[in-house]
């Protein structure tokens, strides 16, 4: 799998931004954190604990995203549109042989760039990465009321596997 996917518009013929996906670097994290906070507006129960102060939201988000990166740096990708980071995805892989599995830890696209197929590009890239790491399945946990994200996953072949508290686990065979 190429480390970078280059070039095509997200939706053919729409004249949308030129996009590319590349591995994240530590210098991308201010943009990644900003995208996370912006993308989860209106979905706060799935991004923060309700009792957190604004400072705690900043702090714990930074820790969470750093953890996602440090656990598997090569599985953390950013999407650039016209040279600016506007989305990201983090994938972790584990296990051996047929039990080898991937999980999308986080995926987000800046609201100004949503609904142009960029989330789909990031999902495709995450799945290609998981396959290149020998994973036969990919899973993720999504907020059970996050209807937009749930629809996207269902359209792309993920099925509901189980529920835990306010989360739904989705699973796809690769
Ligand atoms: C989930 C998220 C990453 C999707 O990003 P996105 O860039 O909006 O996704 P896409 O544009 O690829 O949209 C996928 C689907 O949305 C719909 N869509 C996209 N553009 C559309 C448009 N112009 N008109 C109508 N529907 C559209 C389509 O159903 C599309 O499916 P398709 O690829 O089969 O056509 C984004 O909504 C987000 O950041 N959400 C907040 C964070 C979050 O919930 N993350 C998930 C955690 S599990």
Atom of ligand 1 nearest to the CA of 110: 39
Condensed to tens digits (0 to 9), the pLDDT of residues 100-132 reads 999 999 999 999 999 999 999 999 999 999 999
DSSP collapsed to 3 states, the chain: CCCCEEEEECCCCCCCCEEEEEECCHHHHHHHHHHHHHHCCCCHHHCCCCCCCHHHHHHHHHHHHHHHHHHCHHHEEEEEECCEEEEEEEEEEECCHHHCEEEEEEEEECHHHCCCCHHHHHHHHHHHHHHHCCCCEEEEEEECCCHHHHHHHHHCCCEEEEEECCEEEEEEEC
Task: Quote the mean pLDDT of the chain.
Answer: 93
Q: Which residues of the chain have pLDDT under 70?
A: 1-15
At residue 7, the pLDDT reads 52
User: Using a 6 Å cutoff on CB, does residue 107 contact ligand 1?
Assistant: yes
At residue 1, the pLDDT reads 46
Ligand 1 mutation target, pool 31, 41, 120, 124, most atoms within 8 A of CB: 120
User: Using a 6 Å cutoff on CB, does residue 152 contact ligand 1?
Assistant: yes
**CATH numbers and ranges of domains, the chain:** 19-173 (3.40.630.30)
């Amino acid at each position: 799998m190429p480390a970078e996917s280059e070039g095509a518009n997200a939706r053919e013929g729409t004249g949308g931004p030129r996009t590319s996906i590349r591995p994240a670097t530590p210098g991308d994290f201010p943009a990644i954190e900003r995208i996370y906070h912006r993308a989860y507006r209106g979905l706060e129960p799935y991004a923060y604990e309700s009792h957190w102060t604004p400072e705690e939201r900043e702090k714990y988000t930074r820790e969470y995203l750093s953890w996602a990166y440090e656990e598997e740096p090569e599985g953390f990708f950013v999407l650039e549109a016209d040279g600016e980071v506007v989305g990201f995805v983090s994938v972790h892989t584990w296990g051996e042989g047929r039990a080898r599995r991937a999980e999308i830890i986080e995926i987000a696209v800046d609201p100004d760039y949503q609904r142009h197929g960029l989330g789909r590009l990031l999902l495709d890239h995450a799945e290609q990465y998981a396959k290149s790491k020998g994973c036969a399945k990919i899973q993720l946990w999504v907020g059970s009321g996050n209807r937009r994200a749930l629809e996207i996953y269902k359209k792309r072949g993920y099925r509901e596997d189980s529920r835990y508290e306010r989360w739904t686990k989705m699973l796809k065979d690769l």
